Amino acid sequence: MTVTSSRVPKVLIVNAYVDPWRSAAPMRLFIPRAMAPYYLAGRLSRDAVDVRVYDEVHHGALLDPKLFAWPDLVVFTGLTAAFDRARQLSAYFRSANPAVGVVIGGPIARALPDLCGEVFDHVLDGDVEAFDDLIEAELGTDCLSAHPVPRFDLAGWSYGLGFVETTRNCNFRCAFCSLTGEGRAYQAYSTEEINQQLDAQGRFMMLMVLDNNFYGNNRSDFERRVAVLGERWRRGDFKGWGALVTGDFFKNPDNLAKVAANGCKALFSGVESLDPEVLKTYNKKHSLSSDPLTLGRLCAEHGILFDYGMMLDFGKQTIEEVDSQIEALLASTETPFPALLSLTIPILGTPHFAEVASAGRLMPNLRLSDLDGQKLVEWPKEPLEEVVAYLSGLLQFRGRKLAITRHAVSHAWSRRQSFDLEQTLISMIGPIARYCAGFRLGNPRQMRQTWSEPRRTFCSMTDPLSVTYRPAQRLDAKYARDFEPLYLTDEDGALTPVAMQTIQQRAYA
């Protein structure tokens, strides 16, 4: 519904999220923060629109009745598994203000365009620029920003971090990645656009590059972007920067020297698996030589902190194989422990989802919200009860918290000659905060919701629904369907029509 009132329109941009650890409290230390809402906010005129951002990761679960009644237009984004949450929140906003316009964009809209068209008023399946047409149609041309730049000022303080995006998408096609499913081209920002983003934020200490793949497939363009960041670093705009690169980055020894000479202090790479055969099944051959010990040493030689993610796949790995890898990492002082440890997620719309579905490996009564990386959703190669019991202990690090703490301290000490004080503290405190700190504090509403959550089972077949599926306030009966989970398989494990349609709509290279 077009906003025609003479008053300043109010727009709320929400990053929808449900914590797989069943906490409604904020995750202030989660890095990197979701920045898409702030890029969207930058498309709106500062003078003509009153815009706010709410990130359910950084701010915690959205439970404030006053905020539900505030906006004229609410825009949702988030990961694909957050579809149910976005739908729940839309019911709260519509109940508080029947005239509110509800928009969905990002991965959710691209994975489920038809279903989103039935649920939300507007569906944006493009990049942030697609928001412009909707702004003009719903709010008016004067509400468009003449010079759009991210509204980092709305993000508040972020522990001294600044953010920038120098490219979009990725040039690789990993089978489990949502970007592969979307099939969008890898694109680089111009030097002017990068500088505009940097100028849009206040003072900060460290810069985080938000690219899915900072390295890319164009050597000269990579060098151009490194030079842009290096120039700003030498000017004293920040103390250093970090980025995500793919495994092929490390195959050229000049790359580390180049980024280090231009202020790079940290690199993250998706090692994903220590098993070469598993990497091949993911179409991730560029990571076959990504040994975390070797890469950690190489980066340290250039004063760069190395971090990585690791995925577990019990459909391809045994408990013994996984456990031996974890123990080997803990036993190696020089090898950094992974920043992210999760199960492989068969994200809806990806080749991996289509492959496991066609092989009959998806569990029955699988919900879209189950695809959070913290519970078993595929049939394992070993007895289910044994895998679930092991997984429960591993993800909660029962009996391993002391070992991780010792490893973090020992690893930081081993790198003390290569790292500055900030890098040393990050390498030591990071693993302890990720794997040993289990309690988060939120406002009273958030804490009540957290305490009422049922116990997790770490298996999609038995894991109870989150309390978010029960309305937190009295709603009209017409909103009941907005609190029903979206199922991807039925009681026999066969795909539901929604899941089947998504596979048919996607063409994979």
What confidence score (pLDDT) does residue 159 get?
83
Distance CA 212, CA 214 (A): 7
H or E stretch at 309: strand 305-312
The residue extents of the domains of the chain are 10-143, 160-310
| The token pair that represents 468 in the structure block | 């978010």
Looking at domain 160-310, its CATH architecture is: Alpha-Beta Barrel (3.20)
Residues 6+ apart with CB under 8 A from 254: none
Residues 6+ apart with CB under 8 A from 386: 319
What confidence score (pLDDT) does residue 509 get?
40
Distance CA 494, CA 217 (A): 39
Beta bridge partners of 459: 376
For residue 306, CA distances in Å to 151, 190, 211, 481 come to 30, 27, 16, 46
Q: What is the pLDDT along the chain (509 residues), one digit of tens a residue?
A: 455 555 899 999 999 999 999 999 999 888 888 999 999 999 999 999 999 999 999 999 999 999 999 999 999 999 999 999 999 999 999 999 999 999 999 999 999 999 999 999 999 999 999 999 999 999 999 999 999 999 999 998 888 899 999 999 998 888 888 888 888 889 999 999 999 999 999 889 999 999 999 999 999 999 999 999 999 999 999 999 999 999 899 989 899 999 999 999 999 998 767 777 776 777 666 655 568 889 999 999 999 999 998 889 999 999 999 999 999 999 999 999 998 889 999 999 999 999 999 999 999 999 999 999 999 999 999 999 999 999 999 999 999 999 999 999 999 999 999 999 999 998 999 888 888 877 789 999 999 999 999 999 999 999 999 999 999 999 999 999 999 999 999 999 999 999 999 888 765 44
Q: Which residues of 172-207 are buried (b: 16+ CB within 10 A; e: fewer)?
A: bbbbbbbbbbeeeebebbeeeebebbbebbeebebb
H, E, C per residue of 197-243? HHHCCCCCCEEEECCCCCCCCCHHHHHHHHHHHHHHHHCCCCCEEEE
Question: Is 34:13 a contact under the CB 8 Å cutoff?
Answer: no
Distance CA 287, CA 277 (A): 11
H or E stretch at 272: strand 264-272
Distance CA 347, CA 254 (A): 35
What confidence score (pLDDT) does residue 195 get?
97
Distance CA 128, CA 304 (A): 32
Question: Is 382:391 a contact under the CB 8 Å cutoff?
Answer: no
What confidence score (pLDDT) does residue 31 get?
80
Beta-strand relationship, 187-188 and 167-168? antiparallel
Looking at domain 10-143, its CATH architecture is: 3-Layer(aba) Sandwich (3.40)
Question: Is 21:392 a contact under the CB 8 Å cutoff?
Answer: no
| DSSP state, residue 266 | E
What confidence score (pLDDT) does residue 348 get?
94
Same topology between domain 10-143 and domain 160-310? no
| The token pair that represents 108 in the structure block | 């959710």
Of 296, 306, 342, nearest in space to 322 by CA: 342
Beta-strand relationship, 101-105 and 73-77? parallel
